Amino acid sequence: MYKAVHRAIHAALKRADFRCVHASIQGNHIHLVCEAENKQALRSGVAGTKISMAHWIKAALRKRGLPCPGKVFAYRYHVRAITSPRQCRNALAYVLNNWRHHGYDRRSNAAVDMYSSALCFDGWSHAGSIAVPDEYERLPVARPQTWLLRVGWLKHGAIATSFVPKTH
């Protein structure tokens, strides 16, 4: 499933008006932090990304001889407009450390979620680098273009890799 989502995000990166800047793949849902030029670009960017993900996920299931669901995404996506540095920092901390919220970190000795864009994130508060396995293929994400996602959120401090998000 990782490769399916990887391919869909890669395809979304071809758009000029919509950018996936962070992602986190969980057992039964996906979090995306996106930027868009306007509401229509956001709507069509997310819709296109969902369609692409569904296509690649169904292809992966068929390849393994598993049944394909009629709908891959049972629910509509939830949008939260991020308008302040604190809200942006909280959203980044939540998405990038969501694996800790769900307890997946207890089955791993990794410092960050390997099924997220955490390895591409340069706002961790820890000193030193995070080890990346040689064969690992990072999720393709765009560099943020808005002030808020580039540097604005830093007004409230770097994020600890050990942070465990609460339900919001």
Domains of the chain listed by start with CATH number = 2-156 (3.30.70)
Q: Give residues with Cβ within 8 angstroms of 148, minimum separation 6.
A: 82, 83, 84, 85, 88
- Report whether pLDDT(14) > 90: yes
The structure tokens 């709507």 sit at 43
Side-chain half-sphere CA neighbours of 118 within 13 A: 30
The predicted-structure confidence for 85-115, as pLDDT tens digits, reads as follows: 999 999 999 999 999 998 888 888 788 899 9
Which of helix, strand or coil describes residue 115? coil
Q: Report the alpha-carbon distance of residue 59 to residue 36 in Å, rounded.
A: 28
- On average, the pLDDT of the chain sits at 89
Q: Report the alpha-carbon distance of residue 163 to residue 149 in Å, rounded.
A: 19
Q: Which two tokens stand for residue 116?
A: 């997220």
**pLDDT number for residue 88:** 97
Task: Report whether 111 contacts 146 (CB < 8 A).
Answer: no
| Mean pLDDT confidence for 2-8 | 91
The predicted-structure confidence for 44-92, as pLDDT tens digits, reads as follows: 999 999 999 999 999 988 998 988 878 887 777 788 899 999 999 999 9
- Report whether pLDDT(129) > 70: no
**pLDDT number for residue 154:** 96
Give Cα 154 to chain centroid, integer Å.
19
**pLDDT number for residue 128:** 64
HEC sequence for 49-113: HHHHHHHHHHHHHHHCCCCCCCCCCCCCCCCCCCCCHHHHHHHHHHHHCHHHHCCHHHHCCCCCC
